Amino acid sequence: MPVVLSGSRYHFDSPAGIAFDGHNMWITNQSGNTVTEVNDSNGSVVRVLSGAAYAFNAPTGIAFDGTHLWIANLSGNSVTEVSASNGSLVRVINAARYQLQGSGGVAFDGHNIWVASNFSVTEIRASDGSLVRVITDGFTLPGGMAFDGAHMWVTDLMNGTVTEFSPSTGATIRTVNLGFIRAAGLAFDGQDLWVTDLDTNNVAEVDAATGAIVQTLSAASYGFSTPSGVIIDGSHLFVVNGGDTIT
């Protein structure tokens, strides 16, 4: 049976995105404008990040680059970079040239950070936060993002699809139709992709090599409720639910 994290001690408030730093889980709270760090081994709360300095404004997507966490602010049109070791603020990126309007999903490709925004994806240099480029072709309303070791994948909240594209050229490789209504969260486990659907409350496992659906985890069996963020810690799959819980 799945384990569910819930309760006031987590300070969950419309949790949206989730990331794993190798030791702990980090969950964004969209309505609470906070980020909760949870011990992956025992589920205890490590800390809750809050305060004006972080400029959290409906934080949604989150990714770990090996040292820092990058948090997209949906309403703030910005990205907040935070140290994973102590939760301290590194920087807030909100310049207009980054085109971060409606920032959502975030992914790390081993060198740079990618942020999904309205009708585009933005590539940011992880080492210094400088803008690399903004790609506008082939995206309707990009949501979750994940890197499979070679290519970047992004969900489309408008048509329930997942698009694979080259991070080196920005060219679209293919678009996979999952039969979802609003494909949202996205994660890669080393072989397959895991995609959440906000409307059907299901989570699909997709073969990254072929684009075929491997299996679908249903809300009836797992209790998913408007699942958004999803992540793998190496052993387990964690899914963020709109009902202020993590499965």
**Residue 3 has what pLDDT?**
67
**Residue 2 has what pLDDT?**
65
Residues above pLDDT 70, as percent of the chain: 99
By CB atoms closer than 10 A (0-12, 13-18, 19+), residue 189 is: middle
**Residue 6 has what pLDDT?**
86
* H/E element, 220: helix 219-222
The answer to whether residues 69 and 63 touch, using CB atoms and an 8 Å cutoff, is yes
Residue 138 in this model has a pLDDT that exceeds 80 = no
Binned at pLDDT 50, 70 and 90, residue 207 comes out as very high
Mean pLDDT of the residues in the chain = 94
**Residue 72 has what pLDDT?**
98
**Residue 69 has what pLDDT?**
98
The edge-to-edge listing of strands for the beta sheet with 203-207 is 183-188, 192-197, 203-207, 213-217
